[in-house]
Copies of this chain bind each other. A is one copy, B any other.
């Protein structure tokens, strides 16, 4: 396919049923539009602002659900890892290991992920320039793997806002295939409540701009009922809007491919 690829799914794996239902919906859409699809779900959440936030249903249980999604729909899967010991464990179940933005400077974690032979999806730190991501990619290469992706999830802009720097897209594509995370790049962190806010009304705008700027892939968290999701509800896309969004973006991509 010469379409963009899509990493999508719920923020956290809340249970088997919800994972399968979300995957089924997304697969239906991406099959129709010829979008290569990777199912996304976190098996644990380790970096919440507050200790009383939801952190998961159990690692093993969540990872097995990821495998079941993969087998059921014949799609690859991606999950994020937080500890060196997570790398091998998660690699048994998924195809892409994602390094969270806060952790992308932790050399041992990146190297551990690279050594599994899986694709390593390196999230750009909110505190990093696009150019600095070349050093993260180089760590994957130095660990013996060529399979690195970069995902932009926005950059700090003052304390309580993030911004996407589209100049970074062509710059990072020099280093590795580059994904735009339209969910987290619209976060508004450091809110007084201790719960991250967001601008989900801007998902379409940022996604369209990303496709026009030449991203290789998109990352979108989606859920049947974002308001009641156990984490990141503020920014997930209600799945009922996904087909229209993917259809529009595919149309833009088609014209971009001809330029």
- Residues of chain A touching chain B, judged by Cβ–Cβ distance below 8 Å, are 46-52, 55, 82-84, 102-103, 105-108, 111, 125-129, 131-132, 134-135, 138-139, 142-143, 155-161, 163-167, 169-170, 186, 189-190, 192, 194, 199, 202, 205-206, 208-214, 248, 251-252, 254-256, 258-259
Say whether, besides A106-B47, A206-B166, A127 and B156 are in contact (CB < 8 Å).
Answer: yes
Judge whether A190 and B252 touch: CB under 8 Å: no
Copy count, this protein chain: 4
Judge whether B190 and A128 touch: CB under 8 Å: yes
When distances are taken between beta carbons in the complex, the residues of chain B under 8 Å from A139 are: 50-51
Say whether, besides A170-B202, A255-B255, A159 and B50 are in contact (CB < 8 Å).
Answer: no
Instruction: For A166, give its contact among B52, B143, B160, B205 (CB under 8 Å).
Output: B205
Say whether, besides A206-B166, A255-B252, A51 and B127 are in contact (CB < 8 Å).
Answer: no
Q: Can you list 26 contacts pairing A with B, beta carbon distance less than 8 Å?
A: A51-B138, A52-B142, A82-B108, A102-B103, A102-B125, A103-B106, A126-B127, A127-B127, A127-B189, A131-B192, A134-B194, A157-B157, A157-B158, A157-B163, A163-B167, A166-B209, A208-B213, A208-B214, A209-B209, A209-B213, A212-B252, A251-B255, A251-B259, A252-B255, A254-B255, A255-B255
When distances are taken between beta carbons in the complex, the residues of chain B under 8 Å from A84 are: 83
- The residue of chain B having its C-beta at the shortest distance from the C-beta of A52 within the complex is B142
Judge whether B129 and A48 touch: CB under 8 Å: no
Judge whether A46 and B106 touch: CB under 8 Å: yes
